[in-house]
Chains A and B, each alone.
Chain A
Amino acid sequence: MYKILSIKISLALFLVLFSGSSITHENINHNIDISSGDKCVEPTDIMRAQHHIFINHQSHETVVNGIRTKKYSLNNCINCHIKPLADGSYPSVKTEEHFCSACHIAAAVKVECFDCHASKPYKKVAKKNIEDSSK
């Protein structure tokens, strides 16, 4: 009985101590598009902990009340954080090269935003498509 309990406690301790190492943000390369500002709308530690709360709140304000301020809007996040790859295309939200997916894949937290929302900057994509078609 005590043996099982001690195994359980040591397993829990092991998980608490070592599970965090794979999801620290230091080993993930976060690229922010410098051309569109050099810092986020809130300090990094607040954004890491609460970005979903800001986005959720803003989504209600926008859909129900029609408030379209840029500060916490998901489109604003995407326009700033999603940078083109070396070949000029934008990373798919299913790959770790996508800013949101980099952490969410590592932390195994499913993002449902992009089932409906655009995961790439729109105007830049549209512009690139026009350039491609004119070539």
Chain B
Amino acid sequence: MKKYKIKLDRRNFLKSSGMLGMSSLAPGVFFQELAHARPLNEPASSKNRWGLLIDANQCSEDCNACVTACNEEHGIEDFGRPTTDTQYIRKLNLTHEDSGESLTIPMMCQHCENPPCVDVCPTGASFIRADGIVLVNKHTCIGCRYCMMSCPYKARSFIHENLENQVPHTPRGKGCVESCNLCVHKVDKGENTTACAEACNKDGHQAILFGDLNDPESEISKKLNKYKTTEVRSDLGLNTAVRYRGI
């Protein structure tokens, strides 16, 4: 009996000391997550899902700032061939056939949760990163362009020209397919923004908001909760990370 009692005490002691340990550790872990961006030596995590919220009401038809900023950020040159030149973002001007109501929005890779480009890629070059960013691994891409055909958003471009003077954070070369990478180099550094969002804010439109869809405290999540937003071609069930408001 005495022995049993000792055992119980020991168990209780362990339980209580464990609880104490956890309660003293937990706030530390929590604060660390809030205070610091992911360190450079840690891989992208599925705790995050990066996305954009685009407000069509704020987007201006004569403004092209997001496209220009994107081209500058990623070193995209204009070869004067609009049908084949690379576009990470393009501006769409839409008019309703009956009412004549017009609408302008930027369109780019929608970073689907179930991306068709990844499904069809024969080499595994098209892939979705743990944090939901859909990318092309250009070391593995053979330039077959199957992903370009499968993408419902026509988000991908093929590089037809020999390139020089690429920027270090966006390696690009002839024979590969590419698309919006959600400024992954900025995301990895913890800058928490994209070139297009920055440019849009700078021009005072604030139509593009970048953020973490998995973080309920992020501005983008709060807005998604508050307002009615739309996925383009939601009928396909791709669960896109780029959402639109006012379309």
Contacts and interface: CB of A to CB of B under 8 A. Distances in A.
Contact of A64 (B137, B166, B174): B137
Contacts of B41: 67, 69
B6 to A, nearest CB: 49
Q: Is the interface of A mostly helix, strand, loop or mixed?
A: helix
Contact residues of B: prevailing secondary structure: loop
B44 A66 contact: yes
Contacts of B166: 116-118
Given A63-B137, A64-B129, A118 B171 contact: yes
Contact of B171 (A65, A68, A116, A120): A116
A101 interface: no
Interface in B14-47: 38, 40-44
B44 A65 contact: yes
Given A116-B138, A117-B168, A67 B43 contact: yes
A100 interface: no
Question: How many A residues touch the partner, as a band?
Answer: 20 to 34
A118 B44 contact: no
B228 interface: no
B43 A122 contact: no
B188 A59 contact: no
B173 A115 contact: yes
Given A64-B129, A66-B131, A118 B185 contact: no
Which of B163, B166, B167 counts the most A-chain CB atoms under 10 A from its CB?
B166
Given A64-B129, A66-B184, A117-B166, A59 B139 contact: yes
Given A65-B130, A66-B43, A67-B43, 10 more contacts: A60-B139, A63-B137, A66-B38, A66-B129, A66-B131, A67-B40, A70-B40, A117-B171, A122-B167, A125-B165
Interface of B: 38, 40-44, 127, 129-131, 135, 137-139, 162-163, 165-169, 171-174, 176, 184-185, 187-189
